[in-house]
Chains A and B, each alone.
Chain A
Amino acid sequence: MMGTEFNNIFLYNLKFIQMKETLAGFWDNLVFLVLLTPTVVLWLMHFYVSSRSVASKLIWVGFASLLLVGIEYIRNLFGDLQYVHWRIGWSILYWIFVIVLTIGLQKYFRFIVYKEKNLL
């Protein structure tokens, strides 16, 4: 959902980034939104929850952020995305924000699951 919001706000509304209007660009965008972003976030959640130490949790957060930014960088490198008023550093900030938000939601979700389980 955050990938779609990223596209809607930064690509279509603010036009900070331009997407190449070709079929290849469309498929590239679709695979990124529907497949890659959810997969990376699910991966992160899996490894984050199963990690014991804070250091390893931070490593996973860093790795997932780098992976998402890396995919975006490759899309830019191949010309499917063109930065107009955008820098890769802002993408790093954005994806870290998304990941921290997802971790927060996951913690809240686990909290209410345990709370309701205890009430039963």
Chain B
Amino acid sequence: MILQLPIQFDGNERLITIVIVLEAILFFTLPKRFPTPITLLLLFFDAYLGRTVDEIIEFFPIDLYDSMDTSNYDLYDFFMYTFVYAYYGYFFAYFYDKWRLKGILQSVHIFAWSVSSTLFEAVASWFNVFRYKGWHLMYSSAAYLLIFSLRILLSGT
């Protein structure tokens, strides 16, 4: 199968579907902040980043976790990388730009997004979106701190 279909449409697929719908509603209702090319770049960047990082740590030799129903590439893995990660990264950039944060507030913003991402991942792993095989939620929180900090650093703001 090109993209593995869910073995059973249960908690993890329902959670991802609900999150995609909510994110899409938020994405289309928020006032336009960036020019369309920048919006597209932000969406593509996060879809790419999620795919590449998961490709590295989800398969041999690192193989720290599985996502969705199988250890292969599921249809819902595709949805998750293409929509959930892309919208989430866009919202991070959106609010960072909107509030024009400087100094300590930048750190607060990064910390708040890292905490919320870790909490979301905790909920997702509870719904079996992620099945850890040597990974721990604490590693994710450190990874989120690093990723969000690097994003701000690389955006040059």
> What residues of chain A have their CB less than 8 Å away from a CB belonging to chain B?
1, 4-5, 7-9, 12-14, 19, 21, 23, 26, 30, 33-34, 109, 112-113, 116
Q: Which B residues between 45 and 64 are near A, CB-CB below 8 angstroms?
A: 47-48, 51-52, 55-56, 59-61
Task: Knowing A26-B60, A109-B37, A116-B36 are in contact, say whether A8-B73 is a contact too (CB < 8 A).
Answer: yes
Whether B61 pairs with A21 at a CB distance below 8 angstroms is yes
Whether A4 pairs with B51 at a CB distance below 8 angstroms is yes
Most buried by A among B37, B51, B77: B37
The interface on chain B, measured as residues whose beta carbon lies within 8 A of the other chain's beta carbons, has a size of 21
Whether A9 pairs with B60 at a CB distance below 8 angstroms is no
Hey, what's the 0/1 contact readout for B21-65 against A, CB within 8 Å counting as 1? Answer: 000000000000001110010001001100110011001110000
A1-B51, A30-B56, A116-B35 given. 13 additional CB < 8 A pairs?
A1-B48, A1-B52, A4-B48, A7-B55, A9-B73, A12-B72, A13-B4, A14-B1, A14-B2, A26-B60, A26-B61, A34-B52, A113-B37
Whether B36 pairs with A13 at a CB distance below 8 angstroms is no
In-complex Cβ contact of A116 among B37, B56, B59 (8 A): B37
Task: Knowing A8-B55, A12-B59 are in contact, say whether A109-B3 is a contact too (CB < 8 A).
Answer: no
In-complex Cβ contact of B37 among A7, A30, A34, A112 (8 A): A112
Q: Shortest Cβ distance from A76 into chain B, in angstroms?
A: 18
Whether B52 pairs with A12 at a CB distance below 8 angstroms is no
Most buried by B among A4, A21, A26, A34: A4
Give A26's nearest chain B residue, CB to CB. Answer: B61
Most buried by B among A1, A5, A23: A1
Give A110's nearest chain B residue, CB to CB. Answer: B37
Whether B52 pairs with A33 at a CB distance below 8 angstroms is yes
Contacts of B52 in A (CB 8 A): 1, 4, 33-34
Give A1's nearest chain B residue, CB to CB. Answer: B48
Give A27's nearest chain B residue, CB to CB. Answer: B61
Contacts of A19 in B (CB 8 A): 60
Give B41's nearest chain A residue, CB to CB. Answer: A109
Give A111's nearest chain B residue, CB to CB. Answer: B37
Contacts of A113 in B (CB 8 A): 35, 37
Whether A13 pairs with B2 at a CB distance below 8 angstroms is yes
Q: Shortest Cβ distance from A97 into chain B, in angstroms?
A: 15
Task: Knowing A13-B73, A112-B36, A116-B37 are in contact, say whether A23-B61 is a contact too (CB < 8 A).
Answer: yes
Q: Shortest Cβ distance from A33 into chain B, in angstroms?
A: 7
